[in-house]
Chain A
Amino acid sequence: KQEVTQIPAALSVPEGENLVLNCSFTDSAIYNLQWFRQDPGKGLTSLLLIQSSQREQTSGRLNASLDKSSGRSTLYIAASQPGDSATYLCALTDSWGKFQFGAGTQVVVTP
């Protein structure tokens, strides 16, 4: 059974610092991995989608890497801003198309 873990559960950094968020999984037979952010009381916003054949994806200040052999994905956010404060979740898709989410990392960026 796939286990998806996000550590730490919460993180506070001063504005301008780089953020490093981790997602680990136990079964490497994944179809793809997505990173999302969720603001309080809102739905999820897709940030990056990495297919299983890819190693990384980049969008602006965001970069996500995927290492299936070690069961890890990392989301980097460069030069963090207060607007980056949110909960970040990773989600795996198995070959059947079913999603499994991590519990998320709550990020606070202080001015």
Chain B
Amino acid sequence: KAGVTQTPRYLIKTRGQQVTLSCSPISGHRSVSWYQQTPGQGLQFLFEYFSETQRNKGNFPGRFSGRQFSNSRSEMNVSTLELGDSALYLCASSLSGSNQPQHFGDGTRLSIL
């Protein structure tokens, strides 16, 4: 069974640009969550999508947005990039949400110059 796939693995952008990250969940999983991991702040929850609807949201500015498609694949978009957005972005999928084990992808390493 294929795991959670995140693309691209690495990305370099400059301040002010925007970026879109992609996450393909495990087949049959309907919940996809996104996280930001930095050395200073650790792992922080961004948002969760279930059946194409945002079900939960963390404390991030509106520059961070996402969506989920009918096949459960999810994308995360960050607009007007700032230096502080440099991080490892992880997505996790589960069958139905937080009451199930979360399966993580290997992440997208985003560097802002």
Residues of A within 8 A of B58 (CB): 98
Q: Is the CB of A98 within 8 A of B45?
A: yes
Q: Is the CB of B106 within 8 A of A31?
A: no
Contact partner of A43 among B42, B55, B98, B106, CB < 8 A? Answer: B106
Residue on B nearest A39 in the bound complex, by CB: B106
A11 to B104, CA, bound (A): 24
A103 to B107, CA, bound (A): 18
Beyond A97-B55, A98-B45, A98-B58, whether A49 also contacts B101 by CB under 8 A is: yes
Q: Is the CB of A44 within 8 A of B92?
A: yes
Q: Is the CB of B101 within 8 A of A34?
A: yes
Residues of B within 8 A of A101 (CB): 42-45
Residue on B nearest A44 in the bound complex, by CB: B104
A99 to B102, CA, bound (A): 11
Contact partner of B98 among A31, A45, A89, A102, CB < 8 A? Answer: A31
Q: Mark A69-90, 1 if CB is under 8 A from B, else 0.
A: 0000000000000000000010
Q: Mark B79-113, 1 if CB is under 8 A from A, else 0.
A: 00000000000101000011111111111000000
Q: How many A-B residue pairs have CB under 8 A?
A: 60
Q: Does A61 contact B (CB under 8 A)?
A: no
Interface size class of A (residues with CB under 8 A): 20 to 34
Question: Looking at A42, A44, A51, which has the most chain B CB atoms within 10 Å of its CB?
Answer: A44
Q: Is the CB of A46 within 8 A of B43?
A: no
Residue on B nearest A42 in the bound complex, by CB: B106
Q: Does A100 contact B (CB under 8 A)?
A: yes
Q: Does B75 contact A (CB under 8 A)?
A: no
Q: Is the CB of A97 within 8 A of B97?
A: yes
Binding site for B on A (CB under 8 A): 31-32, 34, 36, 41-46, 49, 51, 89, 91, 93, 96-104
Q: Give 26 CB contacts A-B under 8 Å.
A: A31-B98, A36-B102, A36-B104, A41-B106, A43-B4, A43-B92, A43-B105, A43-B106, A45-B104, A46-B101, A46-B102, A49-B100, A51-B99, A93-B98, A97-B56, A97-B97, A98-B45, A98-B56, A98-B58, A98-B98, A99-B33, A99-B45, A100-B45, A101-B42, A101-B44, A102-B42
